[in-house]
Structure 1
Amino acid sequence: MLTATPAARNSIETQPASVVFEWLWLLPFAAALYYPWALLWSNQAHVAGAGSLVTVGWMLTAYAVPLTAFVCVYVTGAQPLISGRLVLARRLACLAVAVPPAFTLLGVLLYLMKIYGHDIAVWSGLWLALTGYFTMHSSTRPIINFPTSNNAYRRLRVAHGISSLAIMLVFLAPHLFNHLLGVFGADVHRTVMDVLRVVYRNAILEPIIILAFFFQLLSGLVLIRPKTISRADLLDALQTASGAYLTLFIASHINSVFTLARYFGTETDYRWAVGDPVGLVADAWSIRLLPHYSLAVFFLIAHLACGMRVVMRNHHVRPAVYGASTWTAIIIGGLVTAVITAGMLGARV
C-alpha cells in the first residue's frame, strides 16, 4: 500500500487550484437537485402547447445535469495531486452522473410503496441529506491510501470484461438492434422481440443472464473505487462515469422489469417502453424514461469502448490505433443512441 507522504499532503494543502476543485461537488449536487424540475417543466411546456423549442430546451437542461457531473469527474481526476476531499468530490460527481437512473429507481420504489406525487420532495430530501453528509466528512480532509494493482484486482477486471463481452453477444447486442428497429414501428419491434425472447427468456439462459448482470454490478462497484483515487485522462473519466451510470441503471432496470412489470403482469414490449399511446414527453412520470434509456445506450457503448481501449493498451497496441478505435466506437454509440431516441419519440421510417 502506498500512502500519501506528509510532504505531499502539505503540497496539496498549499495548492489553491486543488482547494477550488475540491468544492466542485457543489455544482453536480445543485444540478442533481434541479434535474426533476427540468423534466417537470419540459412536460408542462409540452402539455401546455408552449412549442417544441421550449419543450426541447427544458429537456436539454435535464441532459446537462449528467454532463455537468461528468465534467466534474474529469476535472477532479486531472489534478496533479489528489487529496481525500478531492476523491470524495469525484466519487459524488460519479453518483451525480447517474441521476437519471437514480430518479427512475426512486420513482418505481415510491410507486410500489403507493407513495404518489412526492417524487421531487423525496429526491430533494435525499440529496440534501447526502450533501450534509459529504460536507461533514469533507471538512476533516481525510488522508487516503493509494493501493497498488494486485493479482486479485487484475483477475476481477478480466472476469468483468469477459462477462460483459458474453452479455453483449448473447443479450445486449440483439436487444439494442431490436430497439433500433423502433423507428420502423412497434409491430416490427414486436416481431423481432418475440424471436429473441425464445433465446434470452429460455428457462436455463435467463437466470444465467441475470446472474451475469449482478456480477457486473457488484464487480463494477469494486473496480470503480481505485479509479477514483488516481489521475485520469478524458477516456478514463468516461469509463469511470459510465460505469457509475450503468451500475444504477442495471439496478433500476432489473427492479422495473422483474418487480414492477413481471409482478403486475405488464407486457414489457416497445409500447410499454415508450409510454404508448400517451408518449414519454406527454406523461409527467414517464418523461424521466427518455434520458434514463437514451443515456444508458450511449454510456453502455462508451463503457465497452473504453474497456476495449484498456485491453488494447495492456497488449501494447499503438496509442494511435487504440485511440482511433475507441473514439470511432464512441461516435457509433452516439449515432445508435440518436436513432433509438428518435424512435422512442415517435419518429418512423
Structure 2
Amino acid sequence: MCKAMQRAISHSPRSMTMVGVCLHLFPTMIAAAYPWYLATFYQLLHSKSVASAFFSLCLALAVPGTAFISLHSLARIQPMRSEALILLRLTYITFISPSLYVLVGVLLYLMKFDGRDLQVWIAMWLILLITAWLTCVSRRGEVLSPLASESTRTVRLIHGVVASIVLVVFVFAHLINHTFGLFGVEVHEAIMIYLRHLYRSPFVEPVILVLIIFQIVSGLVLVEAKIRTIQSMFDALQTASGLYLAVFITSHLTAVFVLGRHAGVETDFKWATALPAGLLADPWAVRLIPHYFLGIWLLLIHVACGGRIVLLAHRVKPRAADTVCGLLIVASTLWTAVILAGVVGVRV
C-alpha cells in the first residue's frame, strides 16, 4: 500500500493525482466503520468465535495502522502542497480514531445522548471526507512553505523538560502500578494507595494537572509546526503518538474527573477495567481495549522517540540513535502487552 501511494504521488511533479488522493483517503474511509469492527469483535467473542473476533479487532487496529502508513508517506513529500497538507491533517485525525471514539462516547454520555455514538461517528467522518475531498480538488498544486524550526525551539525545550518531570513524578509510577494488575486487584490497589500519597497530595496533583495540560497545548503547537517538514519514520511516530496522547489524555481526564471523581465514584483499577464483569463483557467498554493499548504503547514510543532527538542533539550518530530508539520501542511493546493483559483480566 505504501509503495502504491508513493507511485501515485510521484506521478505528477506539480500536484498529487486523484488516485493518490483516493489512496490517502482510504484510512479515513475505513475509520467510519470503526465502531462496527468493535461491535463485531464483541459479538464474535461471545459466540466463541475467537479467531474471527481477533480478526475484527485487527480490523479496528488497521485504522490507525493504515493511517500511519499514509501519514508517513505524506510526510516525505517536498515541497509540501496544499492537498498533501489537507490529507496529512485528515490522516492524523484518522490515526487517533481509537481514543477519539472513546472521547466521543464520553461527551455524548455527558450530554445525555446515550446510544448515538454510531450516528455521530459516521456523520463526523462523512463531513471530514467530503470537506477534505472538495478542498483537495479546489486547491491542488499550491506550494506551501515549511515553518521554521527555530520558531518552536523554545517550546520544544520546555516541552521536553516538563515531560521529564511528569514522567518521573507520575507517569512511570502510574504505569508500574498498572503492571501489577497482572497479579490481581488487591496487589494493584495496595500499590496505588501508596503512590496516591504522592501524586494526589494537595500540592502535587494540581501541579501535575497544569503540567499535563501544558504538554497537550505545547504538543499541538509542535505538531502543527512539524507537519510541514520532511519526517523520517521515527519523526512521524513521534508526531503521531504525540497527537494521539493529546486526545487520549483529554479523554482520560474527562472520564476520571467528570464521570468518576465528580460523581463520587472511586477511580481505581476496578473502575478503569469495568470489573467485576471486565472490558470484554461490556459492549461499550470493548472500545477501551484499543484505546488503552495504543495510549500506553504510544506514550512509551513518544518517550523513546523523544530520547532519540536528545541523542541526536548530543551528536550521537543517527544509526546508533535509531537503534536505541528501536530497542526501546520493542521493550515498550512488551511492557504494554503485560499491562494490557492485566487490564483485560489475565492473572498470574
Aligned partner of 1:112: which letter?
A: L
The answer to whether the Cα contact below 8 Å between 1:74 and 1:234 also exists between their aligned partners in 2 is: yes
Q: CA deviation at 1:129?
A: 1.1
From 111, 128, 131, give the equivalent of 2:129.
Answer: 131
Q: Does 1:248 align with 2:247?
A: yes
The answer to whether the Cα contact below 8 Å between 2:152 and 2:225 also exists between their aligned partners in 1 is: no
The answer to whether the Cα contact below 8 Å between 1:69 and 1:96 also exists between their aligned partners in 2 is: yes
Structure-1 residue corresponding to 2:111: 113
TM-score, structure 1 as length reference: 0.92
Report the 3-state secondary structure (helix = DSSP H, G, I; strand = E; otherwise coil) of the residue aligned with 2:170.
helix
Q: How does 1:182-331 map to 2 (within 5 A)?
A: 182-331=181-330
Cα deviations by residue, 1:105-163 (Å, 9 ceiling, x for unpaired): 0101111111111101111111111122212222223442222222x410100000111
The answer to whether the Cα contact below 8 Å between 1:242 and 1:299 also exists between their aligned partners in 2 is: yes
Computed over aligned residues only, the root mean square deviation of the Cα atoms, in angstroms, reads 1.7
Structure-1 residue corresponding to 2:59: 61
Residue segments in structure 2 that go unaligned for 5+ positions in a row: 1-8
Structure-1 residue corresponding to 2:147: 147
TM-score, structure 2 as length reference: 0.93
Structure-2 residue corresponding to 1:343: 342
Q: CA deviation at 1:250?
A: 1.2
Aligned partner of 2:104: which letter?
A: L
Q: Distance in 1 between matches of 2:12 and 2:124?
A: 34
Aligned partner of 1:37: which letter?
A: W
Q: CA deviation at 1:17?
A: 8.8
Structure-2 residue corresponding to 1:158: 157
Flag the 1:57–1:16 CA change in 2: closer, same or farther, 3 A. farther
Structure-2 residue corresponding to 1:168: 167
Aligned partner of 1:66: which letter?
A: P
Q: Distance in 2 between matches of 1:119 and 1:334?
A: 30
The answer to whether the Cα contact below 8 Å between 1:280 and 1:287 also exists between their aligned partners in 2 is: yes
Q: Distance in 2 between matches of 1:17 and 1:328?
A: 38
Count of aligned residue pairs for this structure pair: 337
Q: CA deviation at 1:46?
A: 2.1
Q: CA deviation at 1:328?
A: 1.1
Structure-1 residue corresponding to 2:84: 86
Q: Distance in 2 between matches of 1:281 and 1:30?
A: 26
Aligned partner of 1:56: which letter?
A: F
Flag the 1:235–1:21 CA change in 2: closer, same or farther, 3 A. farther
Which region of structure 1 is more displaced relative to structure 2, 188-197 or 230-239?
230-239
